[in-house]
Amino acid sequence: ETVLDIALRRNETGTYIDRLETRSRAAEVSARGRLSSEGGAAEVTARLMDTGVIAEGVPGPLDLSVEAEGEGEVWDVAFVLDGAVLTSTANLQVDLAGDVPRVSGTARVRADDVAPFGPRVGREIGGAVDLSAEGFAATDLGAFEVDLSGTVTDLATGVVEADALLTGPVEVALRGMRGTDGYELSGLAVSGAAVRAEGSGHYRSDGSGVGRVRVTLPEPGRLAPGFPGPRSLSAEAQGGPADWRLVAEVAGEGATAAADLELGLGGGLPRAEGTLTADIADLAPFSELAGRSVGGSLGVEVSGSGVSDLSAFDLEATVSGEDPVSYTHLTLPTSKPKC
């Protein structure tokens, strides 16, 4: 059963909730507050025995407290959610002036096990997170600026390759912004035992943009057993709105690969034109990855163009090694032949 006890009054100075209490098997809630044309204040405390409102499987109980105080159209809100494996805090200022309300402040969430939140994101997940955020956002997300930082530990996403890189504690940080001119990402940094990454970029409202990323894998064998390391990947994409250029390089001891591509994204199927190269000084370290004993050296260069569904392409490839072989100018028509 649910028990409700409330004491409410109103006079020329405003509306007052002197007492509001409700009790059930699922929760206990207590609140009081006041509201007038000049502002107001409210306090809410609750104990949630049924934690399914947060996520099924989160150990209970969870204690919740909210304190809010406002003057005019500006309200300060303090929020605390505390449990055995889940803690969240926030100190926010809500500005209701203007056409779109704006929220600013700080927040932190700590979850010792994110598995119960899997159904919320539609997949099985696991691990722990401790993340903090600071910034502001319009409630319609038409403008925002957020700094995010923290640590994820043994995060499991269900993607084998990602999970292999996210073992142990991994520190993450980024700054994201949106304004009238578009989006901007800066200060992206990921640092863990299996991966280090940094990146930045922007995308303007006219469709132009630039993005840069650098990833270092101290032990790439975590992704592919036998793959020698360490390896680094650097890439830059720039252009817009219809034509982009992508330049990428993979480097490491004894093996390198590079790509320089012009990408056409305006109308019809996406199209790429450019060159791909790879040079491997010694194939022997790749034997486990290949599933057989290999050796010698290998060089590959491919240049040409093609569309994304491979219905048409014009390529020239050169392969060199112990027995150099050249395959030149392979062309397919723009339409598939009739059978």
pLDDT in tens, 65-114: 999 999 989 999 999 999 888 899 999 999 998 899 999 999 999 999 99
Task: Read off the pLDDT of each residue in 210-225 and give the average, rounded to a whole number.
Answer: 89
Note the maximum CA span of the chain. Answer: 96
Please say whether the beta carbons of 176 and 167 come within 8 A.
no
d(CA 100, CA 178): 15
Task: Read off the pLDDT of each residue in 46-53 and give the average, rounded to a whole number.
Answer: 82
Task: Read off the pLDDT of each residue in 142-156 and give the average, rounded to a whole number.
Answer: 96
- Higher-pLDDT residue of 59 and 184 is 184
The tokens for 173 are 């940080």
d(CA 1, CA 272): 66
pLDDT in tens, 65-74: 999 999 989 9
Residue found by looking up tokens 């072989």 in the block: 325
Bond from prior residue into 61 cis (ω within 30 degrees of 0)? yes
Burial class (CB in 10 A: 0-12, 13-18, 19+), 231: buried
> Does 60 have pLDDT greater than 80?
no
Predicted pLDDT at 319:
87
> Does 197 have pLDDT greater than 70?
yes
Amino acid letter, residue 54: I
322: confidence class by pLDDT, cuts 50, 70, 90: low
β-bridge mates for residue 228, sequence order? none
320: confidence class by pLDDT, cuts 50, 70, 90: confident
Predicted pLDDT at 321:
77
* pTM reported for the whole predicted model: 0.81
- Print the SS3 string covering 200-236: EEEEECCCCEEEEEEEEECCHHHCCCCCCCCEEEEEE
Residues 6+ apart with CB under 8 A from 169: 151, 152, 153, 192
257: confidence class by pLDDT, cuts 50, 70, 90: very high
Please say whether the beta carbons of 31 and 47 come within 8 A.
no
Pick from 239, 278, 273: nearest CA to 256 = 278
Measured at the CA of 216, the angle between CA 214 and CA 221, to 5 degrees, comes to 140
